Structure 1
Amino acid sequence: MKPSTILKTAAIFGALAVGIGAFGAHGLKPMLEASGRLDTFDTAVKYHFYHSLALLALGVWASAKPELKKTGLSFWGFTLGILIFSGSLYTLCLSGITWLGAITPLGGVAFIVGWLGLLAPAGELTKR
């Protein structure tokens, strides 16, 4: 994966995490408290932000070490994790569609794959 693609994706996801988090904390707080979903929304924002930062770190690492070629698994794991894990929780909180909770763990698995995917580029560095 190209470092510029990783960094652009991190920038977009980071900006969205701040915007969605602020909107939830201010504009949606009464609705989320009334539905008992404030903690769920907060979890979605936290994981969204953590993995936006993970994408940023991956992009910086790939920029600093252009010989790294095996960053795609981490990129896609983190990206799909944000979309599926945080996205399903955001949608659940805003719509009340409870079956979405059943797909949230798939996003968690994607996050795990993203973190484990860091083993491949790390292994490339040790081959020198």
Structure 2
Amino acid sequence: MRWPLPAGAILGLLAVVAGAFGAHGLRGLVGERQLEVFQTAVSYQMYHALALVLVAVLAGQGWPGRRLAWAAGFHLAGILLFSGSLYLLVLAGQPWLGPVTPLGGLCFMIGWALLAAAGLGRPSTR
């Protein structure tokens, strides 16, 4: 399971780029509410990029991989659906994307639940 670390690092980098763009490039072009929505997308992207890095670290330490792999997949799907839909909502003005956002949120929740299950299912090292 090698993809979560580079994916998390790249998505973290892109979150910083998007945050800078939102703070400097979008100001004056979109309303305050749209800036808040954009910032929410950036924040959730960064949180879950870090979750991907965490999954990679845990996998590298020998944690059982199946639940971790699924957790990583759901975190990635959440970033694409949740943050992606919010970015497009603000940048492209596509209101039909609104119903996609909660699906991304659900993916985030499932990813965190799977990460918890991976921790609970890990054999004790004592």
Settle same-fold status: TM greater than 0.5. yes
Match of 1:62 among 55, 59, 62: 59
Native 8 Å contact 1:74 1:115 kept in 2: yes
Cα displacement string for residues 29-88 of structure 1 (whole angstroms, at most 9, x for unaligned residues): 211236x30110011101001111111111111112x24222111101100000000000
Shift of 1:24: 1.0
Structure 1 segment 47-126 matched on structure 2, within 5 A: 47-64=44-61, 66-70=62-66, 71-126=68-123
Native 8 Å contact 1:88 1:101 kept in 2: yes
Native 8 Å contact 1:73 1:113 kept in 2: no
Q: What is the count of residue pairs matched by the alignment?
A: 124
**Residue 125 of structure 1: SS of its match in structure 2?**
coil
What stretches of structure 1 move > 6 A for 4+ residues in a row? none
Report the AA paired with residue 31 of structure 1. L
Native 8 Å contact 1:62 1:68 kept in 2: yes
Distance, in Å, in 2 between the alignment partners of 1:5 and 1:69 is 13
**Residue 64 of structure 2: SS of its match in structure 1?**
coil
Q: Which runs of 5+ in 2 are unaligned?
A: none
RMSD of Structure 2 on Structure 1 (CA):
1.5
Distance, in Å, in 2 between the alignment partners of 1:33 and 1:56 is 33
Could you state the TM-score of these two structures normalised by the residue count of structure 2? 0.90
Paired-residue identity, %: 43
Distance, in Å, in 2 between the alignment partners of 1:126 and 1:114 is 20
Shift of 1:120: 3.4
